[in-house]
Amino acid sequence: MDADIIIIGASPAGLMAARNACEKGADVLLLEKKEELGHPPHPANSFFKGMLDRCGEKVDPSYVDHYLKGMQIIAPSGRRVVVETPGYAIDKTKFDRFYAKKVTGTGVDLRTGIEAYNILKDREEFAISTSEGVFRSKLVIISDGINSKMASLLGLKTMKHPEDIAWGIELDVMAPGLGKPDMFEYYVGNHAPGWKTTYSPRGGDNAAIGAYVRRCGKDATPYLDAWVERFKKLKGIEELEVVRKLSGGDPIVTIPNEYITDGVMVVGGAAGQSGIGYAMRSGQICGDVAADAVKKGDVSKNALSEYRKAWENEYRAEHYLGRIALETLRKMTDREIDEMVKVFEKEDLSFIHGSAFEQAMQVFMFMLKKKPTAMLKYRAFLRNK
């Protein structure tokens, strides 16, 4: 065999799975189809400190472009909810390469420019056919992103609601002073069905603006074009210089479904696990379980189910609450969204903390105390839309 564990895809989740498995004694081979790791990058280029805290990682200045105080959630009417929480606009290419260096430092064999084509079971081993020949291992971890075809080749339906992938386009743009503000801005409403448009200051004259939508096809261009024109009016900008255009998908409310079978584990975007920090933590769990399974000589679905148990213990409630919230948002009218945001406008929300489940309960109690009738808006979740 070429390794105990072969990981397909050097996504953040794949990198963490490789590192953790290697640190627990497994021989790990990590295959990445890109010739240069992190290029081109995924449009996800920002996160909040709490997300990275979940996987026990510290933010490194080497990949941070701009430090921010938090976010503003902006309703169609312009009402704003301000949430102060440390955030970071990052260079995703530098981020990926930073973690690749850490991972290879543990002994992981990382090889780029190798595309996987298929996975075949050969007695007690797996044979992965690639652009560089066939590689063999006891266990395979699939971590090649939301557009992964490897899991489907094995008959795995990794997401319960694949139709709810949020497809988006993000532009790196420039204009005088555009990157200086210290807050992310997220605009919600029916101009971006099912999710949001964004403004992420990146320091100096640099920023990123994007549109992310659900159930509107994979091409978010019409929504992005409309957002660019609206954004220029909002900020009083006559011309925006577009530096780069990136596109991709986010499985934010798809809910993980089948992501383990005999000798195979799926992690990260390919498994419907959303968010950089959350996906990295999922990768850590996956790598730990994989290494233990190899050490015991049992890579059956039953043995690998420890991965599912651990993941659901940490994230099941958060993913389902997130789905309820975004499905409610998708079905609400702009007027209802305005009324909802009004409840939180100019309020001190520093009391909100803990896991997503705990935060949801705190928000629920706040709304119940502040304006009980606002809770009726949650009936939108039940609408057939």
* Together in a domain, 291 and 360: no
What whole-number distance in Å separates Cα of residue 374 and Cα of residue 338?
11
Q: Which of 217, 250, 283 is the last residue of a domain?
A: 250
Q: Summarize the confidence of residues 343-352 as an average pLDDT.
A: 76
- pLDDT, position 26: 97
- Structural domain total, the chain: 3
* Together in a domain, 112 and 30: yes
* Together in a domain, 182 and 195: yes
* Together in a domain, 261 and 245: no
Q: Summarize the confidence of residues 252-276 as an average pLDDT.
A: 94
pLDDT mean across residues, the chain = 90
Q: Give the confidence band of 368 by pLDDT, cuts at 50, 70, 90.
A: low
- pLDDT, position 318: 84
* Together in a domain, 184 and 50: yes
Radius of gyration of the chain (CA): 21
* Together in a domain, 301 and 199: no
The pTM for the full model equals 0.92
* Together in a domain, 263 and 229: no
Tens of pLDDT, residue by residue over 161-216, are 999 999 999 999 999 999 999 999 999 999 999 999 999 999 999 999 999 999 99
Across the chain, which distance is largest between two alpha carbons, in Å? 65
Q: Summarize the confidence of residues 342-356 as an average pLDDT.
A: 71
Q: Summarize the confidence of residues 242-248 as an average pLDDT.
A: 93
Whether the pLDDT of residue 371 is over 70: the answer is: no
CATH code of residue 12: 3.50.50.60
* Together in a domain, 176 and 237: yes
- pLDDT, position 374: 62
* Together in a domain, 22 and 109: yes
Domain that holds residue 75: 46-92+162-250
**Cβ partners under 8 Å of residue 366, min gap 6:** 343, 344, 347, 351
What whole-number distance in Å separates Cα of residue 73 and Cα of residue 358?
20
Whether the pLDDT of residue 357 is over 70: the answer is: no
What whole-number distance in Å separates Cα of residue 245 and Cα of residue 314?
34
* Together in a domain, 291 and 378: no
Q: 217-221, 230-234, 280-284, 370-374: lowest mean pLDDT where?
A: 370-374
- pLDDT, position 321: 83
Q: Which of 250, 268, 301 is the last residue of a domain?
A: 250
- pLDDT, position 373: 66
- pLDDT, position 339: 85
Indicate the Cα dihedral angle 41, 44, 48, 51, nearest 10°: -90
* Together in a domain, 154 and 233: no
Q: Select from 74, 48, 56 the least CA-distant residue to 280.
A: 56
The residue assigned the tokens 């988006």 is 168
Tens of pLDDT, residue by residue over 71-110, are 899 999 999 988 888 999 999 999 999 999 999 999 999 9
Whether the pLDDT of residue 233 is over 70: the answer is: yes
Q: How many CB atoms lie within 10 A of CB 331?
A: 18
* Together in a domain, 175 and 245: yes
- pLDDT, position 115: 96
Q: Which of 318, 347, 363 is the last residue of a domain?
A: 318
Whether the pLDDT of residue 235 is over 70: the answer is: yes
